[in-house]
Structure 1
Amino acid sequence: MAIRRFKKLAALLKMETVYGTDAVPTGAANFIQLSDVTFTPMAGDEEARNLLQPKLGHQGIYLTGNYIQAQFSVELAGSGVLGTAPAYGPLLRSVGFAETITAATDVQYDLVHDSFESSDLYWNEDGVRHIGLGGRGTVTFGFTPKRIPRMQFTMKFLQGTIADTALPVVDKSKWIDAVPVSKANTTMSLHGWSAIAESLNLDLANQVVPRHLIGSESIEITDRQATGTAVVEAKSLATIDWFSIAGAHTKGALALTHGTVEGNVVSLSADAVQIGRPASGQTDNIRNYSLPLMLTSLGANELNLTIT
């Protein structure tokens, strides 16, 4: 009997048209390119019996509310063509972004507050395929100099079938190479200051709930509290006074643009970001501030991604 290898993985993801109904993703159209993978094929709850009997011992449990959870990273790059959605577009749509395509111009992703879309997952681990239905999730965005920017997704799906199935033939041509974060490739501004930053991390923090009810099963996004952290080089108060900004509860804009080549430029923006309590630190004996960020929904743009 042949062994099954961990690195031989094919993950396919496709948007649903009817919730919980298999959209049948294919390797030719729906391949997602992943790293940093953790897969839980049977998450859920346990129901104990706790019967009183004339002897001691384990009585077993029931596995209830079963669902699939998949955690993985995706490199953040463009699509290669203006006005063409990136290959990871279905993942963004599954965590609460609406996709707007303007032909030959750009693709924009904006957060929605209801009517969340869902997706189906075919997860093939070297010949064993797990099907997940009705998937929704959350995501974090990470930008660190000298590293490739990545999105870290945590997705939950209703449990479908599990079967011995050959690995699909996949088309990877929709995935273009990302470029590392650097002065040459990346610019960032925060509350009007052209930032010198060591890192930016944003967490959409969706509350994602598997609901197993009488008459209904679904994965629901029930809330979000988008936050983040920016680690910036400390400057004089005359340059930027983070303490006054935090103390006044001021809301200001965040903007980051990554990439310089048309078709491979990703821009993130939010127009009502509140700064939390700054923390003083250092890197290489140079002082910095760690700034908690709250991406409030008080402005028109809670968080936008634009691909150009």
Structure 2
Amino acid sequence: MAAPIYWRDKRILFKLEGTYGTDAAPTGAANAILGYDVTFKPMEGQDQERDLEQPGMGANGTIPTDIHAKLELTVDLSASGTAGTAPAWGPLLRACAVAETITAGTNVVYSPIVQGQEAGTVHISIGGTRYVMLGTRGTAEFMLDAQQTPKIKFDLTGLFTLPTDTAPPTVDLASWTEPLLVSHNNTPVFTIGGTSLAMKTAKLALGNKVEPRFLVGAERVLITDKSELFETTVEAQDLANFNPFQMASEMAKVPVVLTHGTEGGKIATLSLPTAQMQRPSLGQSQGVTEWPLRLVPRAATENSQWSLTLT
């Protein structure tokens, strides 16, 4: 009897493609991903019913169609440790219709794009079986909750290929840095409309619409639209200090700034320059009144609805 294949014994590699849908040949030495909460669906799609009229009674066969693969995983949102050096998760974010702009020795800035979208190749080795996703694109969520490590959750879709028996690669994970806990000391700035607020949770969802599109002569995974949303829960204040109800009533567009980290090379600043306040809600935790808030990042100029700057 063959030995079992253990789910925990996996290696995930990701590399951006030079030509869409062509295996970028990621290596364990340069392209290993350190993630968790991994869900992998290697052969998603539809089953076309045959519904044949034939003698007797019985089930007909089916034909698989629209075959693609899906990978969900979470990584730590941590800067590289060196200003102007891209983090190890940068290629994953670039595959989510995001541009990476590097100023050597100074910063790395991520911002949304429409044209020039990139895609990548995923290799997943589980035991001695290798699964490959080509032309991979996706969407992401930034999550920064108090007393938790900051995270980026990715939902990726790629073209299906048949898995193979392949020896697993040796991986180097040294470029992945330890995250800083989201806390009063480590997260010095959280403001909405210039007002400092006591924040419990914060999440920016990129809201990319990711669609496999299979035609004769072209099989691709496309990002056809996006609709970002920022959600946060904060402690309620006197309305004279901060009034989200009036902001929502006036459809006010206000800046949101969240800075995490205090040491050079380890600072991440999420900025939403013109976020429209939506109708707030009301809640409580530990007997303290809270406002769950939703803001829609709006673009004052094209592709300016948000940015993530690492310094």
| Partner SS state of residue 92, structure 1 | helix
Q: Does 2:289 correspond to 1:287?
A: yes
C-alpha distance in 2, partners of 1:57/1:286?
63
CA offsets 1:39-91 (integer angstroms, 9 cap, x no match): 00001111111223443332121111111100010100011111111000001
In structure 2, the partner of 1:170 is 171
In structure 2, the partner of 1:303 is 306
In structure 2, the partner of 1:98 is 99
In structure 1, the partner of 2:8 is 7
Structure 1 unaligned blocks of 5 or more: none
In the superposition, relative to structure 1, how do residues 2 and 243 fare at CA in structure 2: closer, same or farther (>3 Å)? same
Aligned partner letter, 1:124: S
In structure 2, the partner of 1:88 is 89
C-alpha distance in 2, partners of 1:106/1:8?
35
User: Which of 176, 189, 192 is matched with 2:191 structurally?
Assistant: 189
C-alpha distance in 2, partners of 1:146/1:126?
35
Aligned partner letter, 2:44: A
| Partner SS state of residue 260, structure 1 | coil
Identical-pair percentage: 38
Report 1:225-244 matches (<5 A): 225-244=227-246
Question: Cα offset for 1:161?
Answer: 3.7
Give the aligned length. Answer: 308
In structure 2, the partner of 1:266 is 268
The question of whether the paired residues in 2 share the 8 Å contact of 1:271 and 1:299 is answered with no
The question of whether the paired residues in 2 share the 8 Å contact of 1:10 and 1:124 is answered with yes
Aligned partner letter, 2:138: G
| Partner SS state of residue 167, structure 2 | coil
Aligned partner letter, 1:30: N
Aligned partner letter, 1:114: Q
| Partner SS state of residue 39, structure 1 | strand
Report 1:202-213 matches (<5 A): 202-213=204-215
Aligned partner letter, 1:166: A
Query: Normalised by the size of structure 1, how large is the TM-score?
Result: 0.97
C-alpha distance in 2, partners of 1:54/1:252?
69
Aligned partner letter, 2:178: D
The question of whether the paired residues in 2 share the 8 Å contact of 1:279 and 1:290 is answered with yes
Q: Does 2:304 correspond to 1:278?
A: no
The question of whether the paired residues in 2 share the 8 Å contact of 1:272 and 1:299 is answered with no
C-alpha distance in 2, partners of 1:163/1:261?
45
Question: Cα offset for 1:160?
Answer: 2.5
Aligned partner letter, 1:302: Q
C-alpha distance in 2, partners of 1:177/1:144?
17
Question: Cα offset for 1:228?
Answer: 2.2
CA offsets 1:188-241 (integer angstroms, 9 cap, x no match): 111211121110011101000001101100000000000121101001110101
Question: Cα offset for 1:246?
Answer: 0.4
CA offsets 1:144-202 (integer angstroms, 9 cap, x no match): 11111111100001112411112211111100100111000112111211121110011
C-alpha distance in 2, partners of 1:11/1:273?
35
Q: Does 2:201 correspond to 1:215?
A: no
C-alpha distance in 2, partners of 1:240/1:69?
42
| Partner SS state of residue 91, structure 1 | helix
Aligned partner letter, 2:50: R
In structure 2, the partner of 1:254 is 256
In the superposition, relative to structure 1, how do residues 27 and 55 fare at CA in structure 2: closer, same or farther (>3 Å)? same
Greater displacement, 157-166 / 24-33: 157-166
C-alpha distance in 2, partners of 1:16/1:174?
20
C-alpha distance in 1, partners of 2:162/2:18?
19
In structure 1, the partner of 2:180 is 179
Greater displacement, 53-62 / 167-176: 53-62
In structure 1, the partner of 2:200 is 198
Aligned partner letter, 2:306: L
| Partner SS state of residue 279, structure 1 | coil
CA offsets 1:244-299 (integer angstroms, 9 cap, x no match): 00000010111111111221111111111011111100000110011112112234
CA offsets 1:114-157 (integer angstroms, 9 cap, x no match): 22111111111121101111110000111111111111100001
| Partner SS state of residue 177, structure 2 | coil
C-alpha distance in 1, partners of 2:128/2:174?
23
C-alpha distance in 2, partners of 1:135/1:83?
26
| Partner SS state of residue 184, structure 1 | coil
Aligned partner letter, 1:85: A
